[in-house]
Amino acid sequence: MRITGFDIVVVGSPWRELTFVEVRTDDGLRGVGEARMVSKTDTLLAAIAELGERYVVGADPADLSRLAWQVQVGEYGRPGEITQTALAVFDMACWDVLGQALGVPVWQLLGGRFRAAVPAYANGWYRTDRDPAAVAAVAGAVVARGYRALKIDPFGAAVATLSAAELRRSVGILAAVRDAVGPDVEVFLEMHGRFTAATARRVADAVAPLQPGWLEEPVPPGDLHGLASVRAHTALPIATGERIHTADELIPYLERGLVDILQVDLTHHGGITGLHRLAGWAGAYNVQLAPHNVCGPVGTAAAVHLAVATPGIAVLEHFNDFADPWVSELAAGAPRVDPATGCFAVPTAPGLGVRLDREACAAHPRSRGRLSLFAEGWERRAAGGE
């Protein structure tokens, strides 16, 4: 079997653009991949077109290690966010083709079923006033939908530091969420790499009584010295990794014990192949994964398949019940969280089990939507903000 070509489809919403790639084979099969790129969709499209024509068309979809080597090593330059994302969409699509050709879901090709369901946590749900009562009300609605975990960034447009008043406001929002959902629902604290290490330590002290499930990106990625100081200061778990795109970048995080939960994004780390390899390495350091996932139905499906087969994956992020819920209509077979369990079920259809609906995609053309985390009101995820 050979890949004969590929198609690119971009779908827009006010705060994100989703890029889908369908590969076509000489056996008549179609495989689909997806990524969401922060503010660089045009750049990603150029990389997909160039690398696809160079390495994907004419290739056997089973030669995934060869494809990864060609893109990551054979190109000679260092792979980064754009390259790894372009590779990821093709990698996903090829796994989808292989599963269809063999008549089995992708998770069976990754080692078989390790778990009977994949726990999910909600994000994108707090699209409201930055007010404790308002946020608490919608937090209750998240739990009413069956979620056993949720994540929130209560810090507004903060950069580097927080005033005493803003710290009280942010902690008040988090406290209201904890009161609304009770002690047994996980509440993860998103910090988006906003802070200096000194501010992150103050935040850690202030929120410790509320027992968040983790502190996510307390300092900017790459500030290893600052992260080490936060790690030494608090017993709260540290999560990071969504902006880490290659395995070598992770060496100091693992070897220096700076992270408890790795949040590497499958769609920015070379796809299913890349994250599957990484999971074994992280396991050697007894570090779990909670993959970052801001994708629609296809990227989410790929992450679900990987999580079904992988022991070290703890929980999977999910936006599509709250932010742009219509994205689930973009593909037949879109993964959904079971309200009775708060989990994704184990997929049963061959391949990734999702088929792109071109008409539904066409109803949402490109928006140039982007993430503006340092603008007031970004949490509403309207035009110009995430």
Asked if 121 contacts 317 with a C-beta cutoff of 8 angstroms, the reply is: yes
Signed CA dihedral, 329, 330, 333, 334: sign only: negative
> Quick one: tokens of 278?
């990484």
Q: How far apart are CA 304 and CA 119, in angstroms?
A: 9
Helices (H), 23-118: 41-51, 64-69, 81-102, 106-109
Catalytic residue among 269, 276, 292, 364: 292
305 classed as catalytic: no
385 vs 40, 55, 127, 207, 248, CA distance in Å?
Answer: 15, 35, 11, 26, 31
Helices 271-284, 81-102: inter-axial angle, 10-degree rounding: 100
| Cβ-contact 198, 226 below 8 angstroms | no
CA dist 53 → 15, 50, 56, 59, 166 (Å): 30, 6, 6, 10, 51
DSSP, collapsed to helix, strand or coil, labels residue 317 as strand
Compute CA 310 distance to the chain's CA centroid, rounded to the nearest angstrom. 16
- Token pair 């690398």 is at which residue? 51
**Which residue type, as a one-letter code, is found at position 368?**
R
Contact in structure between 312 and 288 (CB atoms under 8 Å): yes
CA–CA gap between residue 91 and residue 82 (Å, rounded): 14
Residue in 192, 268, 276, 318 annotated catalytic: 192
By the 8 A CB rule, do 97 and 29 touch?
yes
Q: Give the integer Cα–Cα distance in Å for 69 and 268.
A: 16
Q: Which amino acid is at 167?
A: L
User: For this structure, is 192 an active site residue?
Assistant: yes
Active-site annotation, residues? 192, 292
